[in-house]
Amino acid sequence: MLQQIYPQVFHNFRYELNKDMQIAAAHFIPHEAAGKCANTHGHTYFVNITVAGDELDESGFLINFQQLKKIVHGKLDHTLINDHTDLFSNTRAEDFPTTEVVARKIAEIVQEHLDTMPNRPTCVQVFVRESPTSYVVYRPKAGNR
């Protein structure tokens, strides 16, 4: 992708894995300050997920790339993001499906899965590009992992 960048995240883990994916999805921001974005519209989100850790699993992976795609792309692709009421809210601003919140929720989905793995990897960064000119980087704080 022409406009792709890979922002670096600093950590002390031995291994770092990055998974790219594209997610076609619709959303709307349920607030008058959002202007035109209060209307339902679509994006092809470009997502980069960074997972790090010191230990590999029994198959030599930090985490299986396909598994990572399944839990994020499999849930959000070709959906109306606002419909995922287990993740997003149309009344609480901190859970509106803005690019910022989409990045945070992806990090939470990923970390929830990583927490079930014996090698205990960590999601250290989620990059979400909403358009050729706009992107967000979310980095979970160590205390919230």
In the residue annotation, 37 being an active-site residue is answered as yes
Which of 16, 31, 37, 108 is an active site residue?
37
In the residue annotation, 78 being an active-site residue is answered as yes
Q: What is the DSSP track for 36-105?
A: GGGS-EEEEEEEEEEEEES---TTS-SS-HHHHHHHHHHHHTTEEGGG-TTT--SS-GGGS--HHHHHHH
Q: With contact defined as beta carbons under 8 Å apart, do 15 and 62 qualify? A: yes
3-state secondary structure of 143: helix
Which of 16, 100, 108, 130 is an active site residue?
130
Q: With contact defined as beta carbons under 8 Å apart, do 131 and 66 qualify? A: no
At 13, list the tokens: 């883990």
Catalytic residue ranges = 37, 78, 130
